Amino acid sequence: VSSFTIQSDADQQDLLPHEQLVLDGLFASGETTVTTDDLKEKFYAKIPAIRDALYDRLVQKKLVAGNPQTVRRKTVGMGVFAGLVTGIGGFLWATFQGAVLPNAAVLPIFSAIVTFALFAGFARAMPRQTRIGVQAVSWARGFEEFADRVEGDRFDRDAARDIFETLLPYAMALSVATKWSRKFEGVYDEQHPGWYVGPSHGMHNFSTVAFQNSLHDTMSKAGESLASSPRSSGSSGSGGGGFSGGGGGGGGGGSW
């Protein structure tokens, strides 16, 4: 299957700004049901605004000190300015010392490149995390360790199912979903989740591993469709804005 159907829920109250932007982008046509084929080479244009709104949410929740995209752009801009100043200043100094071209330009150009590279390197680490952000990262690492050690069969069946279903989205976001689903394989016995209807329904036991693999495949393919952009003239392919589906086991999903 290469195309998937997305249906709008009637209840869209109390959505966060980035969530509302996602829904507005998905159902921009006014229809309540769309397919990923309908959104090819269209939805990609919404991704920058969604990304900025999501970054603003991180700032609002005090996870980072500033909008990461804005801080990185400013840092790179400072790097360009500092590189130019270093290069021009170095060239004038070399000329004043009596150096002539091309020797007079070698050191200034090298210095400008190094200066810009340093700022670009700092930009990748910007902005700094707040205390709350550090705690969130610590929680995420703790969950990854929990996914390594948890044993689904040590819980009673109802508790195990609830833990698996509640924390699966976090496992996908942190790229440990395959490991997570393996830990809870077999907890459903003869029972299917009430929210699940799929190829295995009525034929054999619900498999958490098969379900996660199918979900990851679905999210990845849907993400490719949503991120696809029109081919430019002379281009051999189309690229997206970095919107990909849920995380699988080893590689997992990409990022916005």
Q: Under DSSP, is residue 106 helix (H, G, I), strand (E, B) or coil?
A: helix
**Residue 6 — φ and ψ, nearest 5°?**
-120, 125
Neighbours of 7 (CB within 10 A): 10
pTM, 2 dp: 0.64
Is pLDDT at 7 greater than 80 in this prediction? yes
C-alpha to C-alpha distances, 41 to 12, 22, 28, 61, 224, nearest whole angstrom: 25, 15, 13, 32, 10
DSSP string, 186-244: TTTTTPPPTT--STTTTTS---HHHHHHHHHHHHHHHHHHHH--PPPTT-S----SS--
**Cα→Cα distances 131→138, 151, 165, 226, 243, Å:** 11, 32, 30, 34, 28
**Is the model more confident about 197 or about 8?**
8
Domain residue spans of the chain: 5-60, 68-124, 131-227
Q: Tell me which of 13-17, 21-25, 27-31, 231-235 is least confident.
A: 231-235
Which one is predicted more confidently, 191 or 53? 53
